Amino acid sequence: MKRIILFCLVFLFSVSNISASHFMGGEITWTCIKGGPNVGQYIFEMKVYRDCNGITFSQTSQTLTHHNYPALGTTTPMLLNFISITDISPDGSPLSGNGCFDCASGQLGAVEEYIWRSDPITLGGTPPAEGWHFTWGSCCRSSSITNGMADDSWTLRAVMYPYTDPSTGNAI
């Protein structure tokens, strides 16, 4: 009985907060459609990079949050459809003494890129001076990150500021 109590006490006091989904970083970008039936609409794309030395990401649709649209202080969800996963691990050379990295084997240093993309979206009006902010976040950063904030929650953010065409003087 003493062993069971001792085991429970040791286990109880040795538990630490561990959570990692192996996010390494990412980016949010957009493209304005210049021709065809969707001219003037935008396609948003989100790329997330994963440390292959851990669990995989979701391959379901994700929601990008659009801040300050349609007015300051408001938010609007934007659906991003899952597109692909690609192993973008650096290639090594056996002659240099650096072997190739491979995400399938979960090697430290191997990286996967996940991509989500929206359908064409209409954004009416011009962004305010503060810009329209686009965010997506999750928990947690990779435990392998050594420059701070490993295992913490994180957010990707991009800002679309107003732009005035220098040739016409019109806000775009």
pLDDT digits (tens, 9 = 90+) for 121-161: 999 888 988 899 999 988 766 566 666 666 667 899 999 99
- What is the average per-residue pLDDT within 49-64? 88
Q: What three-state secondary structure class fits 111?
A: strand
Structure token digits, residue 59? 């391959």
Q: Is the pLDDT of residue 3 over 60?
A: no
Boundaries of every domain in the chain: 17-160
Task: Indicate the range of 7-16, 47-56, 97-106 predicted with least confidence.
Answer: 7-16
What is the C-alpha end-to-end distance of the chain, expressed in Å?
74
| Global pTM exceeds 0.75 | yes
- Bridge partners of residue 48, in order along the sequence: 26, 114
- What is the average per-residue pLDDT within 98-122? 87
Write down the pLDDT at residue 83: 98
pLDDT above 70 covers a percentage of the chain that reads 73
List C-alpha distances in Å: 24 to 35, 88, 109, 111. 35, 13, 11, 9
Q: Is the pLDDT of residue 7 over 50?
A: no
CATH of 17-160, one of 2.60.120, 3.30.43, 2.60.40, 1.10.287: 2.60.40
Residue 31 near residue 100 (C-beta atoms within 8 A): no
Question: In whole angstroms, what separates CA 104 from the centre of its chain?
Answer: 21
Instruction: For residues 25 and 7, give the distance between their C-alpha atoms in angstroms, rounded to a whole number.
Output: 39
Phi, psi dihedral angles at 40 (to 5 degrees): 85, -10
Task: Indicate the range of 39-53, 61-75, 103-117, 142-156 predicted with least confidence.
Answer: 142-156
